[in-house]
Amino acid sequence: MNPPFLYINDWNEWTAGKYSRGEGQTTDFMRRKSNYSFVDQYNPEFNRCIHPMRGGYTDNYYMQMAQNIRRYKGARPLPVNTGAVDVAVDGAFDDWKAVAVEYRDTAGDTTHRDHKGYGGLHYTNTSGRNDIVTCKAAVNAAQVAFLAETAAGLTPHTDPNWMLLLVDADQNHDTGWFGYDLLVNRKVVDEKTTTVERWDAAAGAWADAATVPLRYAGKSLELALPRDLFGPAAAELAFDFHWCDNPAELKDPISLCTDGDSAPNRRFNYRFLWKAE
């Protein structure tokens, strides 16, 4: 079969029906005592709802939908970075023009939330801070450099959980913190220096790995990590990376996207591919 269209359902699926609880009986529904109840269509394991939820199955079915859409429609070939690029971490940023591959994130997703909900709820979220819009990475014999750009001027580096960079250096989800082996900027030293931490599986915690240069000005931030943090030097290099700003906590990948900004969105990663020539 090769259908030209697919219909995907449902965003939020319920059994069509309102059921009485019986005389004098109520149930807690949407923060109110109700004489009626609505039945969800499936349990979490066999759920067909696409929408993400807080807790429970989180965004598992949303990610599954994205995966299957890509299988059906196909995807563009991943761009490959080629050649060594020498980036000086000096706050000038002009040398990044030599890097052609750009990774993008949706703009405008740091808008603060202040709206009424159902059953007396009021939804408030003011964690949106630095709106990450574009990213780049560059390789030479000594370092792997990263650039992040925001829609408006960057806030000070003294802010909590400021412009965190997570790297899956071996592209193996079974190693590291939910796959991420390196964490940058969790402990920024000053406006010119930051730290890299490596996940210590035995301790179940992040451990200091290196102190590295950092510069930021206006809407741009650049930093560079030692090349040896990515394994032995070779003619090719591949890793995944993810930027986020102002998550309330570092509990799991979902916590990276429920507050602040996440680039790319939700649990997706950018995939960096590089060849010497």
pLDDT tops 80 at residue 31: no
Q: What is the SS3 assignment for 254?
A: helix
User: What is the pLDDT confidence band of residue 5, given thresholds at 50, 70 and 90?
Assistant: confident
- Mean residue pLDDT of the chain comes to 92
* Alpha carbon distances (Å) from 29 to 34, 35, 44, 260: 6, 9, 18, 30
Q: What is the pLDDT of residues 98-155, one digit of tens each?
A: 999 999 999 999 999 999 987 788 999 999 999 999 999 999 999 999 999 999 999 9
pLDDT for 6 equals 85
Over range 39-58, report the average pLDDT: 80
CA 107 to chain centre: 14
* Residue percentage of the chain with pLDDT more than 70: 98
32/140: higher pLDDT: 140
pLDDT for 144 equals 98
Q: All domains of the chain, ordered by start, with CATH?
A: 19-73 (no CATH), 81-275 (2.60.40)
202/36: higher pLDDT: 202
pLDDT tops 80 at residue 197: yes
Over range 31-54, report the average pLDDT: 79
The C-alpha atoms of residue 201 and residue 92 are separated, in whole angstroms, by: 37
104, 106, 99: which is closest to 80 by C-alpha?
99
Radius of gyration of the chain (CA): 22
Block residue for tokens 């993008």:
104
Number of residues assigned to the chain: 277
The C-alpha atoms of residue 154 and residue 91 are separated, in whole angstroms, by: 13
9-18, 62-71, 158-167, 246-255, range with the lowest pLDDT? 9-18
13/247: higher pLDDT: 247
CA 250 to chain centre: 12
